[in-house]
Amino acid sequence: MTADGTSGPLRIPRRPRGRWKPWLALAVVAAITAVTASPQWGVAVAFDAIARNWQNGALKIVQLLQPDWAFWPRTVAPLLETLQMAVIATVVGALLSLPLSLWAAKLTNPHAVGRGILRTVLNAVRSVPDLLYASVLVAMVGVGALPGIIALVLFNVGIIVKLVSEAIESNDAGPLEAGRAAGGSQLQVNRAIALPDVWPSFINQTLYVFELNVRASTVLGLVGAGGLGLLIDAVRTYYRYDQLSLIILEILVIVVVIDLVSSAIRKRLV
Amino acid sequence: MTIHSHDSAGVGTTVPAPAPWAIRMRDVTVRYPNGVVALDGITLDIEPGEMVSVVGLSGSGKSSMIRTINGLVPITSGSLTVGGHALESTSGRQLRRLRGEIGMIFQGFNLAGRTSVLNNVLVGRLAHTSLWRTLLGAYTDADKQIAFEALDRVGILAKAWDRASSLSGGQQQRVAIARALSQQPRLVLADEPVASLDPPTAHAVMGDLRRINEELGITVLTNLHLVDLARTYGTRMIGLRAGEVVYDGPAATATDADFERIYGRSIEAEDVLGR
């Protein structure tokens, strides 16, 4: 039966064209992968190296499976320093990010020029890896936790401002218009109306960068920027994979605990 | 002139009401950057204390007209005077002060959903609040008192500490009216204030607007597209079509033929709200 009540063969609309596009995309990805892995053009991945060196690798794995528990007391102080760096960097980064996020979003800053400048600077800040910041800062301010903290703050501001300002853009413009219509200045309206709606995404992203900071601050010490990384570098130099194994376990436990705590906090954010 | 809370129990206080404002439009044209002409040479006088319904289909220019009156939309040509202030030569701090005297109510309520009802009503005090007080959220006790009285006037004082998003649509629109009232406005503009409400709630909210006009003497301009609401809740009706005034007269006696002329088509069932 057709819609007008008469019976007859179904008139199926013609299938749209252009269904080959996903296949083309897949072919392009496959071609790029093949070229980058090929010996002439790309990085020349030699899988036979795994076969040749497997005994060596197996030995390391056996060592890693036997953590040196007696090493524990020496890891406590660097571990605490790593956590302290992560906390300080998160707090400072978040405090800097909140006003900058409002400044970077079109909804809360109608001035295109200022917004454009800030976004360009932030893109530049974000494009540099934190380990690179740390190695440059160690040369500038000396070895220790301080260059690590500054590197993490830069990294945090780049991430939080990008994610929070994008969340602001997706908010409704209506309440802000109401605030302007009541005679509020942009700054007043941002504080009284935009800020309460920004809180959840701001806290969410701050917890996220805290997790990233704990991971990142464990390796910043490799370039002399404080924390566990310094110890990792030392045990690695002496091929003490049993001690490295203990450090990895400790990082694992801390990261899991922090993930659990922050996801518990996130659930309460409605 | 003094005003009294509608609450016969006398919870509200008596404060002198500011003198209501007139609107004078002379050949006002608004052309948007994309070339659309929203208002096409409108000349109108709205006297202090009038309750005016502005009627027209969507796209007729009624929303642009209301936004032009408080400077949210700039005038392309012509002159617009609100309460003696020429809008085309007002900007910056002066414009914000002017807007502070004009309450505005929106179809979508436009509340900050995650904060309290009280904080939303206090937005109406921004024009009278210093920046540092706003940043700290430290509104004066006098401003809080004004906000509580405004909430009492629309009958939802009990919800002051609730989160705005937890309220029903009708209650949210009442919060928006309280926000406008806390401005102690000389003029209230309402842009399709009941278009997203069910009929009984719509009548209650329109009743609130009429009471603001009758008891406080404030000039009220309401955009509507429903025939019966325009007839019931306005003393004067202005019909807009394609950015031009095509009707200006008493609201109660406007005939179906008048509405058909404004809409450019016959009146249908969906043009009437009912009860």
pLDDT tens per residue, range B136-172: 999 999 999 999 999 999 999 999 999 999 999 999 9
CB A221 within 8 A of CB A78: yes
CB B273 within 8 A of CB B193: no
Question: What is the Cα–Cα distance from A266 to B204, expressed in whole angstroms?
Answer: 39
- Please indicate whether, in this complex, the C-beta atoms of A183 and B101 are within 8 angstroms of each other: yes
The residues, ordered by sequence, that sit 6+ positions from B26 with a Cβ below 8 Å of its Cβ are B43, B78, B79, B80
Give the model's pLDDT for residue B152.
94
Question: What is the Cα–Cα distance from A265 to A257, expressed in whole angstroms?
Answer: 13
Q: What is the pLDDT of residues A147-206, one digit of tens each?
A: 999 999 999 999 999 999 999 999 899 999 999 999 999 999 999 999 999 998 999 899
- Please indicate whether, in this complex, the C-beta atoms of B96 and A200 are within 8 angstroms of each other: no
Question: What is the Cα–Cα distance from A226 to A130, expressed in whole angstroms?
Answer: 13
Architecture of the CATH domain A71-268: Orthogonal Bundle (1.10)
Nearest in space to B190 (alpha carbons), one of B164, B231, B139, B225: B225
Alpha helices (H) in chain B, listed in sequence order:
62-69, 92-100, 117-122, 131-136, 141-153, 169-182, 199-216, 227-233, 256-263
Q: Are strands B85-86 and B23-31 parallel, antiparallel or unpaired?
A: unpaired
- Please indicate whether, in this complex, the C-beta atoms of A184 and B123 are within 8 angstroms of each other: yes
- Residue A1 pLDDT > 50, yes or no? no
- Please indicate whether, in this complex, the C-beta atoms of B104 and A178 are within 8 angstroms of each other: yes
- Residue A43 pLDDT > 80, yes or no? no
Distance from B110 to chain A by nearest Cα, in Å?
Answer: 4
Chain B hits for A182, Cβ within 8 Å: 99-100, 103-104, 123-124, 126-127, 179-180, 183
pLDDT interval class at A99 (50, 70, 90): very high
Strand order across the B37-46 sheet: B37-46, B23-31, B77-82, B85-86
| Mean pLDDT across A68-89 | 90
Give me the interface pTM, i.e. the ipTM.
0.87
Q: How far is CA B192 from CA A79, A176, A247, in A?
A: 61, 18, 64
- Please indicate whether, in this complex, the C-beta atoms of B126 and A188 are within 8 angstroms of each other: yes
Chain B hits for A199, Cβ within 8 Å: 114
> From A179, which residue of chain B is nearest by alpha-carbon distance?
B123
A interface toward B at CB cutoff 8 Å? 172, 174-175, 177-185, 187-189, 191-194, 196-197, 199-200
CB B39 within 8 A of CB B28: yes
Structure-token pair, residue A217: 């601050």
Helix (H, G, I), strand (E, B) or coil at B18: coil
- Please indicate whether, in this complex, the C-beta atoms of A183 and B113 are within 8 angstroms of each other: no
- In the chain, the amino acid numbered A94 is A
Could you state, in order of their start, the residue ranges of all structural domains in chain A? 21-64, 71-268
Distance from B259 to chain A by nearest Cα, in Å?
Answer: 30
Q: What is the pLDDT of residues B170-220, one digit of tens each?
A: 999 999 999 999 999 999 999 999 998 999 999 999 999 999 999 999 999
Q: Are strands B37-46 and B187-191 parallel, antiparallel or unpaired?
A: unpaired
What is chain B's mean pLDDT, rounded?
Answer: 89
| Mean pLDDT across A53-57 | 80
- Please indicate whether, in this complex, the C-beta atoms of B110 and A189 are within 8 angstroms of each other: no
- Please indicate whether, in this complex, the C-beta atoms of B122 and A192 are within 8 angstroms of each other: yes
- Please indicate whether, in this complex, the C-beta atoms of B98 and A183 are within 8 angstroms of each other: yes
Lowest mean pLDDT among A10-19, B17-26, B103-112: A10-19
Distance from A26 to chain B by nearest Cα, in Å?
Answer: 41
Question: What is the Cα–Cα distance from B213 to B49, expressed in whole angstroms?
Answer: 7
Distance from A191 to chain B by nearest Cα, in Å?
Answer: 6
Q: Are strands B244-250 and B77-82 parallel, antiparallel or unpaired?
A: unpaired
Q: Within a 10 A sphere around the Cβ of A262, how many other Cβ atoms?
A: 17
CA atoms within 13 A on the CB side of B257: 1
Lowest mean pLDDT among A41-50, B76-85, B219-228: A41-50
Instruction: Say how far residue B59 (Cα) sits from the centre of its chain.
Output: 19
pLDDT interval class at A266 (50, 70, 90): confident
Mutate to test the interface with A, among B66, B73, B102, B134 (most CBs of A within 10 A): B134
Chain B hits for A187, Cβ within 8 Å: 131, 134-135
